[in-house]
């Protein structure tokens, strides 16, 4: 399946070129640069030299919050339909950046090739302008101002004037239902054609968006969801956007400490990338996610020598189950043995659970530093089989996820004894012996044998908690054993 990529950009040519480089095959790239952007002849030629770039436009003076944004978007959608036959259309900004390799991107959308990925809500909504239709009812002349900041300083006065004299527009009547959405989407060619055709045949709603605040955040969803009656439309656009004021902007300008959110949830693009704040996170994404070629080596103790994140994976279901276990048992301290990059430790701490972690990987501390809050203790390198491994005191719960299959068979008894020594209440063992992420050799373990070995060190299955545990989704783990110390 081939893809059309619409990029609406307004600054930073170097960043834009780096983004375009990503779409090297099976993609047609269409770029619109804001008329206000001063582009040299050499810069334009550089952009047009990319074989994946079909056209570079500089047709509209695009203003944040204004009707010009929707005009530009609709123009670009028409151009895509006219100039290529790609089956899928993505709208991104020049400040977006991919979070996976291009091959993974293409494979990801194969599973959604008949679906539209559009993050939308029905209006009015409690999270949308305080459950009102305010952006539709008042006039917002954002296109009269050259910058977002100039517009905002005047808009309060303009709105106050309209409220004072009861100047209020009626709601659009073309559809019974109105919808709000993120501007950025990934939709099928058929749906793109549907929106363009509707706009051409029934332009009243489109022109009613004039002087509506950020009309692109309503028009696409209102037309598409009504015409398709919500069929084959997902409630997500697979973008990560941090809707908080951080690094001088809302939505946040992303930095390397936002990496945890990209590991935590499935997304194909992240924004906003603002230089120089976002330099490091782009470098990290390039190295570990977009162009990842980090080798994974097995060490004699079964640990991984791996400077990377992707092979560890992440399961929200697993960590949700662990949090639930802590609530059920009253556990207030957790040790994650074989913590990998430290992702689970970071999430547990976010849930106000005192968690620490170690892993045999020599890159553990460096990897966890990008995921754990700056003022918190990092995960460390340590070997479970090390005779000198000690902790100040045992933990209420010891986690051992996907560790046992990699420990040499002759060392498994020693590993179990060490786990028992690290806990004074519970141990959670879980592993999967199906198709592994890594191609490293593993040792298969039978559940009843592990239960027997834990019993020898005075840890026994808790029938009630194991029954409750089975009701929780542990993230596709084949074997799950929850044992309690017999005091």
pLDDT tens-digit profile of 20-55? 999 999 999 999 999 999 999 999 999 999 999 999
CB atoms < 10 A from the CB of 80, how many?
25
Beta bridge partners of 305: 297
Instruction: Give the mean model confidence (pLDDT) for residues 189-212.
Output: 98
CATH 3.90.550 in the chain is located at 3-284
* 385-410: burial string, b at 16+ Cβ within 10 Å, e else: beeeeeeeeebbbbbbbbbbbbbeee
What does the alpha-carbon distance between residue 332 and residue 354 come to, in Å, rounded to a whole number? 6
Residue 480 has a pLDDT of: 85
358 and 337 Cβ atoms separated by less than 8 Å:
yes
pLDDT bucket at 448, cuts 50 / 70 / 90: confident
pLDDT in tens, 101-124: 999 999 999 999 999 999 999 999
* Axis crossing angle, helix 13-22 with helix 41-48, rounded to the nearest 10: 10
Alpha helices per DSSP H over 364-476: 364-368, 412-422, 447-456, 463-471
What span, in angstroms and rounded, lies between the C-alpha atoms of 255 and 279?
A: 8
Average pLDDT in the 256-270 region?
93
Q: How many CB atoms lie within 10 A of CB 331?
A: 18
d(CA 247, CA 245): 7
Residue 163 tokens read as 């409220």
Q: Is residue 183 a contact partner of residue 216, using CB atoms and an 8 Å limit?
A: yes
- Count Cβ atoms within 10 A of the Cβ of residue 444 and give its class: 0-12 exposed, 13-18 middle, 19 or more buried: exposed
Token duo for residue 166: 């009861």
Residue 120, strand partner residues: 181
8 Å CB contact between 420 and 458: yes
Condensed to tens digits (0 to 9), the pLDDT of residues 298-320 reads 899 989 999 999 999 888 888 99
State residue 8's pLDDT score.
98
pLDDT category of residue 476 using cuts at 50, 70 and 90? low
The share of the chain scoring above pLDDT 70, in percent, equals: 97
Domain with CATH 3.40.50.150 in the chain: 297-485
pLDDT at 384 over 90: yes
Q: Quick check: 171 and 218 in contact, CB under 8 A? A: no
Residue 180's nearest CA partner among 124, 131, 232 is: 124
Beta 3-9 vs 27-33: how paired, if at all?
parallel
Q: How confident is the model at residue 354 (pLDDT cuts 50, 70, 90)?
A: very high
Domain 297-485 superfamily per CATH: Vaccinia Virus protein VP39 (3.40.50.150)
Q: Which of 32-36, 126-130, 193-197, 224-228 has the lowest mean pLDDT?
A: 126-130
Predicted local distance difference test score (pLDDT) of residue 69: 97
pLDDT of residue 435: 53
Instruction: Please report, for the chain, how many H helices and E strands are present, in that order.
Output: 17, 21
Taking alpha carbons only, the member of 114, 153, 94, 129 closest to residue 217 is 129
Q: What is the pLDDT of residues 204-249, one digit of tens each?
A: 999 999 999 999 999 999 999 999 999 999 999 999 999 999 999 9
pTM given for the model: 0.91
Q: What is the CATH number that goes with domain 3-284? A: 3.90.550
Residue 434 has pLDDT above 60, yes or no: no
Confidence (pLDDT) at 150: 75
């Amino acid at each position: 399946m081939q893809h059309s990529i619409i990029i609406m950009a307004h600054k930073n040519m170097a960043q834009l070129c780096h983004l375009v480089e990503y779409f090297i095959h099976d993609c047609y790239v269409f770029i619109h640069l804001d008329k206000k952007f001063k582009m040299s002849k050499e810069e334009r030629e550089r952009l047009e030299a990319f074989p994946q770039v079909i056209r570079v436009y500089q047709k509209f003076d695009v203003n944040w919050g204004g009707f010009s944004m929707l005009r530009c978007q609709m123009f670009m959608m028409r151009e895509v339909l006219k100039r290529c036959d790609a089956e899928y259309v993505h709208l991104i900004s020049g400040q977006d950046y991919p979070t996976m390799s291009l091959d993974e991107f293409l494979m990801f959308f194969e599973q959604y090739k008949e679906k539209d990925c559009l993050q939308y809500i029905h209006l009015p909504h409690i999270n949308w302008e305080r459950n009102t239709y305010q952006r539709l009812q008042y006039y917002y002349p954002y296109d009269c101002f050259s910058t977002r900041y100039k517009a905002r300083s005047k808009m309060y006065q303009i709105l106050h004037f309209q409220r004072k004299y009861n100047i209020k527009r009626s709601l659009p009547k073309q559809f019974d239902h109105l919808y709000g959405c993120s501007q950025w989407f990934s939709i099928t060619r058929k749906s793109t054609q549907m929106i363009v055709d509707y706009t051409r045949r029934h332009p009243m709603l489109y022109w009613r968006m004039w002087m509506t605040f950020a009309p692109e955040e309503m028009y696409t969803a209102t037309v598409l969801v009504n015409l398709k009656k919500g069929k084959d439309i997902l409630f997500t656009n697979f973008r990560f956007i941090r809707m908080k004021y951080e690094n001088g902007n809302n939505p946040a300008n992303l930095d390397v400490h936002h990496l945890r959110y990209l590991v935590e949830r499935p997304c194909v693009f992240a924004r906003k990338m603002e230089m120089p704040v976002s330099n490091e996170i782009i470098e990290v994404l390039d190295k570990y996610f977009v162009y990842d070629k980090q080798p994974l080596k097995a060490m004699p103790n079964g640990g991984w020598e791996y400077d990377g994140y992707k092979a560890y994976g992440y399961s929200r279901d697993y960590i949700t189950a662990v949090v639930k276990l802590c609530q059920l048992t009253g556990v207030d301290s957790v040790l994650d043995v074989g913590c990998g990059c430290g992702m689970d430790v970071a999430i547990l701490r976010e849930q106000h659970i005192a968690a620490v972690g170690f892993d045999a990987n020599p890159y553990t501390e460096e990897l966890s530093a990008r995921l754990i809050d700056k003022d918190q203790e990092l995960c460390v390198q340590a070997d479970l089989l090390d005779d000198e491994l000690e902790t100040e005191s045992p933990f209420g719960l010891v986690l051992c996820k996907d560790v046992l299959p990699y420990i040499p068979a002759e060392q498994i008894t020693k590993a179990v004894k060490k786990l028992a020594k690290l806990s004074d209440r519970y141990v959670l063992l879980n592993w999967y012996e199906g198709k592994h992420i890594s191609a490293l050799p593993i040792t298969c373990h039978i559940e009843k044998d592990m239960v027997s070995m834990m019993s020898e060190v005075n840890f026994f299955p808790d029938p009630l908690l194991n029954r409750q545990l089975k009701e929780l989704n542990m993230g596709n783990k084949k074997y799950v054993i929850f044992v309690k110390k017999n005091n």
